[in-house]
Amino acid sequence: MIRWCRFSASFLLFSFLSLLVVFHGAYAILPLVASGLALLCVFFWIVNRDSRWRLDREDGAFLLALLVFAAVWLGDVWRTGVWPVGEGNQGLWLPLWPVLAALVMVAWRQVPPRPGFWWWGVAFGALLVGGIAAYEHWWLGRWRVGNGINAIPFGNLALLLGALSLAGLVCLPSARWWLRLAFVLAAVGGLLASVLSGTRGGWVVFPVLALILLLAFHATRPRWGGRGSMVGLVAVLVAVLLAMSLMPGVPVKGRLSQGVANLQEYAGGDAGSSLGVRLEMWRAGWQLITLRPGLGWGEGRLEAQRDAWVEEGRFHSGISRYDQLHSDLVDTFARRGVPGLLSLMALYGVPLWLFWRHWRRGGDEQARALALCGVLIVVGFVGFGLSQSMLRDVRGLSGYLGLIVGCWCLLKGRRSSVPGGG
């Protein structure tokens, strides 16, 4: 039973990482299967009284962050009677997803997946999205690629998979040459997909992720051969990004020029552009927060008040096309007030603190690499969430929960399997 649980967890984690942005139903199907199998594993552990539960205080804090976020969101649904639907009516049960993630975490902490499935899943996922992006852009002639989904979560998740591949390259110097080659190609694929998606928010976040990677590389520098290797890594990374950005037909220059033009138009009173509508949503959001900071407006009520203001002519009509305010921070605060904001900070802050703590603690290279991945995931989603409501997007929320839970269970499993690893 234990061997079967470990194999199923490893296979599902690999499939989730590989297919999240590639297969349209992966964001829901794989977590549901994982939750069902997790129930069976937990039931086995309860029945088998000789089994020792491997949950500690850190796990308790992690689980509490997940469950508090879900409880506050469900409480908002209860008081308003309205469920979030997400883009294309795909996210009806979004508030319950953190509960499923907590269930999977409890099961995977007993029998964690194997780390190799994480690294190959990240690499395959980044390679696949890079291939899809290249096919859509150069073969189908699409200016912004997205694999049939919103280009923003597509580009953000692709960028994150590329950054996680770089984490493996940086922190696993003793890995076999074919795995290091896979990391290099995967990093290029993830970055290429981000560039071709035209997702400007991800480009703003990437320098922060790159800085974290360079700090990690500095910490492992003795194994790579000194300062020259670090300079070489920076030079190669800059060269690859410049080459991608300057390729003919790539939307980078056009998207940046468009952003500057949108700002100028907004300053002149025209809020109808892509960036102008987003700025209008943030302005409306902060006014909503000012009026009801305590408990917020709630699901459905926020949209009703926003649309009423649009009819009065206070905001551009374009903001009514969306079911969110294009910012996790603004949307959550306006919708669920101070409790929602605190639950969001816990959902970000608790995992970030735990992963950073384990990265600073040191240990073998596998544990440090996994801890670094956890830091990159949280920091990446914090940055993405400043300009897009990633946690109200079905792939965004599923991706965040799946990535942090999978990475955490692998990290804790590694710590417990290494002598003196805590």
Nearest Cα to 34, choosing from 103, 109, 122? 103
What's the whole-number average pLDDT of the chain? 89
Tokens of 268: 């002149």
Examine the pLDDT at 410 and tell me if it is beyond 50. Answer: yes
* Helices within 81-199 (DSSP H only): 97-110, 115-134, 151-171, 177-197
What is the domain count for the chain? 1
In a domain, 288, yes or no: no
In a domain, 300, yes or no: no
Query: What's 52's DSSP letter?
Result: P
Q: d(Cα 326, Cα 282) in Å, to the nearest integer?
A: 7
Examine the pLDDT at 64 and tell me if it is beyond 90. Answer: yes
What is the pLDDT at residue 233? 62
What is the pLDDT at residue 217? 81
What is the pLDDT at residue 164? 97
Q: d(Cα 103, Cα 318) in Å, to the nearest integer?
A: 39
Examine the pLDDT at 420 and tell me if it is beyond 50. Answer: no
In a domain, 422, yes or no: yes
Query: What's 320's DSSP letter?
Result: G
Q: Cβ-count burial of 276 within 10 angstroms (0-12 exposed, 13-18 middle, 19+ buried)?
A: buried
156-215 tens-digit pLDDT: 999 999 999 999 988 888 888 889 899 999 999 999 999 999 988 888 899 899 899 988
What is the pLDDT at residue 223? 55
In a domain, 286, yes or no: no
Tokens of 113: 């997946």
In a domain, 142, yes or no: yes
Please give the span between the terminal C-alpha atoms of the chain, in angstroms, as a whole number.
26
In a domain, 402, yes or no: yes
Mean pLDDT of 333-351: 98
What is the pLDDT at residue 1? 66
To 10 degrees, what angle do helices 115-134 and 2-19 make?
Answer: 20
Tokens of 402: 């799946």
Q: d(Cα 215, Cα 212) in Å, to the nearest integer?
A: 5
What is the pLDDT at residue 252? 75
Nearest Cα to 369, choosing from 217, 230, 234, 231? 217
What is the pLDDT at residue 235? 66
Nearest Cα to 391, choosing from 344, 335, 339? 344
Mean pLDDT of 245-263: 78
What is the pLDDT at residue 303? 93
Examine the pLDDT at 300 and tell me if it is beyond 60. Answer: yes
What is the pLDDT at residue 381? 98
What is the pLDDT at residue 214? 86
In a domain, 362, yes or no: yes
What is the pLDDT at residue 422? 46
- Domain containing 409 equals 1-231+328-422
Examine the pLDDT at 26 and tell me if it is beyond 50. Answer: yes
CB 198 within 8 A of CB 256: no
Examine the pLDDT at 419 and tell me if it is beyond 50. Answer: no
pLDDT-wise least confident of 19-28, 42-51, 247-256: 42-51
In a domain, 23, yes or no: yes
